[in-house]
A and B are shown apart, each in its own frame.
Chain A
Amino acid sequence: MARTTTTRRGLVSGLANGLMTLPAAAVYTGLTVVPVGYAVYYSFTQYNGIPSQAPTWVGWDNYVRIVTDPIGDLRPAAWVTLVIAVVGAFLVNGAALGLALLLRRTTPFNTFARAVMFYPHVLSALIVGFLWQAILGPQGAVNNLLENAGRSSWPFLSDPDWALVTLVGVIVWAQFGVQLVLYLAGLQAVSPELQEAARLDGANGPQVFRHVTWPALAPTVTVTIVTSILSLLKVYDVVLGLTNGGPGDATQTWAYEILAVSFANNKVGLACAQAVLLVVVAGILSFTIIALRRRAEEGAEAVG
């Protein structure tokens, strides 16, 4: 590396360096870091967001309320979010990896198919929600087809359990294209010589995948799992379009609870406590996954 020995730079040069980071630092600090600080502060207060009424310090009350309240506030939403994150991450990654293996060769047909698999991602999640609501709703396209065929309609969005299943399905439909692109990029890094060598040694397709492709994909798998879980934890727009949280609170996610319930009802302190908790959970989850994946990634270096 052409790195000069760290010479003592003058004060002027240091100041010039500082100035170059200033615009980015100002915008980022002002509208991300300071709000995070405020969110933490408000989370320890009772505050309704009305300027004339100052926040009153209540310590851990909001957090205690979230954790202990048996039915209220966050608990159902946290459960819904957990289901979406875990089941969704499995389905998104499974679908994406399976299709990546099918589409790994660059042919015109495969390029077309890749674009078709990816296109829902360029649509806004809100519009995806409205579109599927029009297709799967009680009077939507699918239920009309069923009724016209003389069958009874299906409660995709009107039954609590089915609504959650439908929500997960719609999210997977809209999101797996991103992970597909990541897996395709990861597959390019898998050595073709190694795969060919394994084949010549008599390994069949699944064996080549199990012993060569899958270990070499390990770093990609870490990235795809973490990015998919992080985006699944903050699902909000698609819920608004598809079910608006219903029926009842069956599809109210954590982010929905924060923005559409707590904040919308002027419970700013509580909304901030829920938000802080979500960031903490997201952080713990990501770091746990990265730590758990470390061994698999070391294996990848051995193979690659």
Chain B
Amino acid sequence: MTRTSPISRAVRVTVVAVLSAAMLVPMYIMVVNAFKPQQEILLSPLGLDLATATTDHIAAAWQNTSFPVVEGYAVTLFLVVACNVVAIGASVPAAYTIARTPTPLFRFVLFFFVAGMFVPAQIILVPAIFVLKALGLMGTLPGLVLFMSSTMIPFTLFIFSGYIRMLPRSLDEAASIDGAGRQRILWTIVFPLMRPIVATAFILNALSAWNDFVSPQLILGPGSQFRTITTGVYAAVSTYTTNYEIVFPTLLLAVVPILLIFVLMQRHIMGGLSAGAVKG
């Protein structure tokens, strides 16, 4: 490929190494300070004295009643799975129909769905609350799942229909001649071929469900028995922003699972993002 001198290569590696280190400084500060008492955090925010390091504050954050950590993980994980089941489950048949029926009506249906990508979720949240109230789903997990899924459907459906259009139609026709019905063709032939794009949609929807704060906060309500990771952190930290013995351990507990998943899956996560945005 391109020729590069050893000097420019060395400069490049140094610049990238310094920037990478800089990107990680906030994580470093969070991790070391989660093991220190307040006084020490204030005196030496960057150091870690192993003699005085303690897990007491992490244990306290783990037991904090305003952010029940295990339940927070469980509720958030439930949202990730349930929203994906609803959003992907509903988008697959709709995208299949739209992709395989190139009539003006279904082109309009696709446009109708895609328009939703331009509506910021926070904006419809206020009126959506009144719809959920009317349905009797306000303050419930099903209501939250339905709302979050509806914000995921436009993008999911859009990339699915684009992908299905690339799959040869002759597959469907062959299966149809063999006597398979429409649902059977979709779920046993087309859906398995969609694995890469389903993975992309799953990853992107999972990230947005995992990190969402406004929807659970407003739909479940601040006093809800269900706390997600984000609403739990908000409840635990927002009034104690200068009590670093609470702030750092709580934030650490909140980010550890997603960072572990990211480290294990980073190729898929970043690959899914570029596939979704460029090929979609």
Taking Cβ atoms with an 8 Å cutoff, the residues of A that contact B are 2-4, 6, 16-17, 20-21, 23-25, 27-28, 30-39, 42, 49, 51, 99, 102-103, 105, 109-127, 130-135, 137, 139-142, 144-145, 148, 173, 178, 181-182, 184-186, 192, 195-196, 199, 220, 223, 227, 230, 233-234, 236-237, 240, 244, 255, 258-259, 263, 268, 271-272, 275-276, 278-279, 282-283, 286
Question: Are B170 and A123 neighbours in the complex by a CB distance under 8 Å?
Answer: no
CB neighbours (8 Å) of B207 from chain A are 121-122
Residue of B nearest to A43 (CB): B127
Question: Are A2 and B168 neighbours in the complex by a CB distance under 8 Å?
Answer: yes
Greatest chain B CB density within 10 A among A31, A119, A278 is at A31
Question: Are A127 and B16 neighbours in the complex by a CB distance under 8 Å?
Answer: no
Question: Are B262 and A275 neighbours in the complex by a CB distance under 8 Å?
Answer: no
Write the B122-155 contact mask toward A (1 if CB under 8 angstroms, else 0): 1111111011110100000000001101110110
**Distance of B250 from chain A, by nearest CB (Å):** 8
Residues A20 and B97 in contact in the complex (CB < 8 Å), given A2-B168, A30-B150, A36-B119:
yes
Greatest chain B CB density within 10 A among A37, A140, A230 is at A140
Question: Are B120 and A2 neighbours in the complex by a CB distance under 8 Å?
Answer: no
CB neighbours (8 Å) of A139 from chain B are 42, 242
B53 on the interface (CB 8 Å rule)? no
Main SS of the interface on chain A? helix
Apart from A122-B262, A144-B42, 15 more pairs, CB < 8 Å:
A6-B103, A21-B94, A24-B91, A28-B154, A31-B124, A31-B149, A32-B153, A34-B127, A130-B233, A130-B241, A148-B43, A178-B273, A223-B278, A230-B118, A240-B234
Q: What count of chain B residues pass the 8 Å CB interface test? A: 102
Among A33, A144, A173, A286, the residue within 8 A (CB) of B43 is A144
CB neighbours (8 Å) of A51 from chain B are 133
B51 on the interface (CB 8 Å rule)? no
B37 on the interface (CB 8 Å rule)? no
Write the B22-47 contact mask toward A (1 if CB under 8 angstroms, else 0): 01101101100100000001111110
Among A6, A23, A35, A124, the residue within 8 A (CB) of B229 is A124
